[in-house]
Amino acid sequence: MNSTLHTIDSIKLSEKQKQQLVRLKSKTGIENWNVLCRWALCMSLAEDSIPPVEDIPSDSNVEMSWKVFTGEYADVYLAVLREAYQKQSAHLKDVHFADFVKLHLNRGISYLISKK
């Protein structure tokens, strides 16, 4: 695996994800997008199953750099994502690394919003 191909520069959310996170922010009092997104990503990655493949637009005005998204643990998040991608990519036809990250983030946000 060529790890230079498996990097992320930024995360841009869909309008649907943005609206879900706005609701989560009001429910939890957590103000930072990146904190909620980290939790969402980890919740999805904790599952053994592969997230559903769907086209997730980057159509909101919420965008954060990888460094802001991950904070001081950028290398840890990247290593975990690379390992998950290596394990799951055989079951994901033509899904590139950046899209793989978006799928997990999307599923994780759905998990968070469904929690009471």
Residue 19 clears pLDDT 70, i.e. is over it: yes
Here the tokens at position 102 are 């978006």
Going by pLDDT thresholds of 50, 70 and 90, the confidence category of residue 21 is very high
The Cα-based distances of 12 to 33, 57, 102 in angstroms read: 11, 9, 9
The pLDDT assigned to 92 comes to 85
Q: What is the pLDDT of residues 23-61, one digit of tens each?
A: 999 999 999 999 999 999 999 999 989 999 999 999 999
The pLDDT assigned to 5 comes to 61
Q: What is the pLDDT of residues 52-109, one digit of tens each?
A: 999 999 999 999 999 999 999 999 999 999 999 999 988 888 899 999 999 999 999 9
Say yes or no: domain 13-114 is CATH 1.10.1220.160.
Answer: yes
The Cα-based distances of 69 to 41, 75, 87, 98, 116 in angstroms read: 10, 12, 23, 14, 25
The pLDDT assigned to 28 comes to 92
Predicted model pTM: 0.91
